[in-house]
Structure 1
Amino acid sequence: MEYREQLKIIKSHKWNEDPGPAERRPKKKHTKRKAGAVDIVVWLIQLAASAFLLAALCILGIIPFKFIVLLVTILLVLLLLTRFMQRRAYKCRKKRRSGKGISICFSILFALIGGYALKANAALDKIAIGEESGQYTEQHGIEVTQRPFNVYISGIDVYGDITQNSRSDVNLIATVNPDTHKVLITTTPRDYYVTIPGVSGSACDKLTHAGIYGIDTSIATLENLYDTTIPFFVRVNFTSVEDIVDVMGGVDVESELAFTTSEDSGLVMDVKEGKNHFSGKEALAFVRERQNLPTGDNQRGKNQQALLAALIKKAMSPMILFRANGMINSVAGNSETNMSEKQIKALIKMQLNDGKGWDIESVAATGDDSGKQWCYSYDGGPLFVTVPDWSKVEEIKNKIHAVSK
């Protein structure tokens, strides 16, 4: 075969052609992306934040066990989800999100909630007095979620420091039955003309003057009047009432009457018959007013009951959890109670666990407030007082005993 013919045959073979760009490029080997140290650190931070949240909620001690179990499940699922996203990103040929951003957001959220819980726990410790000193050991032994009990709610007529002795302008007894979910709110006029056990002997005085001798004296006076036992008290002042209502975002109160408050109440405003939405300052003026009310202190006591009932109803809402820390901090230093921290937490936990509403009934002691009498604690002359209607006092006794069964 001639040389020229051989050359034509050689040139006709494709393997001798110049390879294209794709054929010239060497093939890359596909390798799995190795786990980054940053991803691992972020996941460990999420794990630590989850543990911190659980520990903080256990220390707070108000979350029912079933919710704790649910929370543990959610936290584990979130940890597994973050880990899954990281591993998927390691194995995938294409660049994928490893979940670092989501993990960091979860960690911040858990840390904030845990800190919120610890702050609420510290504030509760400030409100519950007597535990460190060993006082009220008998009262602290009462199972408040198992048996009925009475709480004396005393409102002193001052701003600021709650520990100062002062007249008690608000005198309410809340009879609580945790089994039937009933609450009876009893109000007694500040000018009720009664004896003060251990102080006045057989002489009578205004109920409000009992507060000058201490909270225990006010309790003994009401126990003697209604023939009942009042193991617990809550003491509040003007500051705490304003703060609690404001932290709650205001409160809706049903007023029996339409009236205008006087300057002595702290704020001049119009109150309409029926539902009113009050801020803290407005709520305080509502319960302080008596000059422009037809029955004076008797109606003021009913207004105080209306505010307390409204506060209880709003406090029973699940949404209150988002305001709980603010509420507790607002009353720390401006209120006190001899209930133990454990008892307070037990009541909150019970409410969160069953979520039941409360049947709230109000009753007010009445009497004749048209005259003056000599009072044990004041020797400057007779003072206006409210002479008890003893038939009404007897009726209240029976109601308290009925709710306490």
Structure 2
Amino acid sequence: MKKILVGLLILIILGFLISGGVLLFKNYESNKSNNIESITVSDNAENTKSTESTANDEKEKIEVDEGPSNGFRTIALFGNDSRYDNYDTDYRTDCIMVVVINNETKEVTLFSIYRDTYLEMELDGKTILNKVNQAYYNGIENSLKTINKNLDLNITEYAQVNFSSLSDIIDAIGGVDIDVDADELKYINNYIKDTAGVAQKPEEKILIETPGMQHLNGVQAVAYCRIRYTEGWDYKRTERMREVLTTACDKIKKLNLKEMSDLADKLLPEVMTNIPKKDLLGFTRLKITKEFGWPYNTKGWENGDFYGPPITLESNVLRLHKEIYGDENYVVPDSVKEISNKIIKKTGYK
């Protein structure tokens, strides 16, 4: 089956799912959680696909740059633009989100990294400046290193899921209510047709004819998440993604045990992650308290393609750490300052 991968929604849905039914998942752990697929990322960035039933319970380690982590758990969610039923690295990650969990309060900060964000990365043995979504060409490890290096983070955990599964999950919870405005209406039906084809679902009778509050099924909700060409462009697209996320999570918290079990059947086999199954049961009492897009300040830059350089990387990283970790004494490291100066020199934006 052709699939478009997305890493924005499922892990957080899983957290809320488990938070409402921990006992249920303990009973189902052996025959459901064992189906979660994992990728062990090796030093040469070649991905080996395996299942948790054949892996031990120790957390797979990914060598990444050091960064702050005390008291928080930080997880990257990826979605690439593959149209195929695999997790190959010949594609870009057009959806990048970061989940920051406060281990004490169980509060969650969710932020999107805009796909065109102009950052430093390693590609094919060279250090270059490029869009952050290009880093995935050299694998998940390289994407994590790129995020950690530029944002001074210490992310070692990740998850990927596909749009087809997301569509199934939205259908399983009975759809979501979303207000589709007139500008979005111009584009959503083309995305519906494309998404229906990828998910191998019929498109008949699901095209949207008028703007306003809509009850969206799975294909329609995924199509809504993908709209990019309205005012606000990618910034607005990430807002739509987070809107669907929070709406779906609110519905999931109201499911009964039978409904949670049915949803787990659809969800767990599709999760691609290096998070041990034993840790999934620890995502309890999660509460999304803050969500935003990053970088805070950016400006479009044309150089043979469209890029979104942070203005500046240094100031955006400083604000980020204060916001997600509450670290008022945080000092931007020299390594990030150096990258920031490279971006300024290249783009002229400061």
Deviation of 1:219 after TM superposition, in Å, equals: 1.6
Q: In the alignment, is residue 339 of structure 1 matched against residue 269 of structure 2?
A: no
Look up the equivalent residue of 2:162 and give its one-letter code: N
The residue number in structure 1 matching 2:114 is: 189
Q: CA deviation at 1:240?
A: 1.7
1:299 partner SS: helix
Conserved? CA contact 2:37–2:271, under 8 Å: no
| Counterpart Cα distance in 1 of 2:178 and 2:30 | 29
Asked if 2 retains the 8 angstrom alpha-carbon contact of 1:314 and 1:320, the reply is no
Q: Deviations over 1:29-86 (max 9, x none)?
A: xxxxxxxxxxxxxxxxxxxxxxxxxxxxxxx9x976xx7xxxxxxxxxxxxxxxxxxx
So what's the TM-score if we normalise by structure 1?
Answer: 0.58
The one of 288, 295, 302 equivalent to 1:372 is: 302
2:72 aligned with 1:148: yes
Contact 2:123 2:138 (8 Å CA) reproduced: no
For residue 309 of structure 1, report the CA deviation from its aligned partner: 2.1
SS at match of 1:203: strand
Amino acid at match of 2:293: A
- What is the CA-CA distance between 1:295 and the residue it aligns to? 1.6
Distance in 2 between residues matched to 1:256 and 1:397, nearest whole Å:
34
Q: Separation in 2 of the partners of 1:254 and 1:229?
A: 37
RMSD: 3.5
CA contact (8 A) 1:152 1:173 kept: yes
Whole-Å separation in 2 of the counterparts to 1:270 and 1:152? 36
TM-score by length of 2: 0.66
Within 5 Å, which residues of 2 pair with 1:169-248? 169-197=94-122, 201-248=126-173
* Secondary structure class of the residue paired with 1:217: helix
Q: In structure 1, the residue corresponding to 2:232 is in which secondary structure?
A: coil
Gaps of 5+ in 2: 1-17, 41-51, 63-69, 194-206, 331-350
> 1:264 Cα deviation (Å)?
4.8
Superposed CA deviations along residues 255-307 of structure 1, whole A, max 9, x for unmatched, are: 7996213455234646857x65321111111111111x112111111111222
Which residue of 305, 309, 312 corresponds with 1:383?
305
Number of residue pairs the alignment of both structures matches: 272
> In the alignment, is the contact (CA less than 8 A) between 1:253 and 1:277 conserved in 2?
yes
The one-letter code of the counterpart of 1:398 is K
Residue 291 of structure 2 aligns with which residue? 362
2:250 to 310, 313, 316: 313
The structure that is strand-richer by fraction is 2
Structure 1 pair 276/394, CA: closer, same or farther in 2 (3 Å)?
A: farther
Q: Check 1:234–1:170 CA distance in 2 against 1; reply closer, same or farther (3 A cut).
A: same
Asked if the contact 1:147–1:178 (Cα under 8 Å) also holds between the matched residues in 2, the reply is: yes
Greater share of helix: 1
Larger Rg: 1
Aligned amino acid, residue 339 of structure 1: I
Q: Please give the alpha-carbon distance, in whole angstroms, between the structure 1 residues aligned to 2:210 and 2:157.
A: 33
How far is 1:342 from its partner? 0.5
- SS in structure 2 at match of 1:305: helix
Partner Cα separation in structure 1 for residue 80 and residue 174 of structure 2: 23
Q: Deviations along 1:302-346, whole A, 9 cap, x unmatched?
A: 1112222223333333x2532223323323453311111101123
Relative to structure 1, the CA distance from residue 168 to residue 300 in structure 2 (aligned partners, 3 Å threshold; closer, same or farther) is same
1:369 is displaced (CA, Å) by: 5.3
Answer yes or no: is the 8 Å Cα contact 1:239–1:334 preserved in 2.
Answer: no
Which secondary structure state, in structure 2, belongs to the residue aligned with residue 363 of structure 1? strand
Unpaired runs of 5+ residues, structure 1, are 1-59, 68-112, 140-145, 352-356, 374-381
**Shift of the alpha carbon at 1:221?**
1.4
Match of 1:288 among 226, 231, 244: 226
Structure 2: which amino acid aligns with 1:127?
A: I
Q: Could you tell me which residue of structure 1 aligns to residue 235 of structure 2?
A: 298
> What is the one-letter code of the residue matched to 1:277?
H
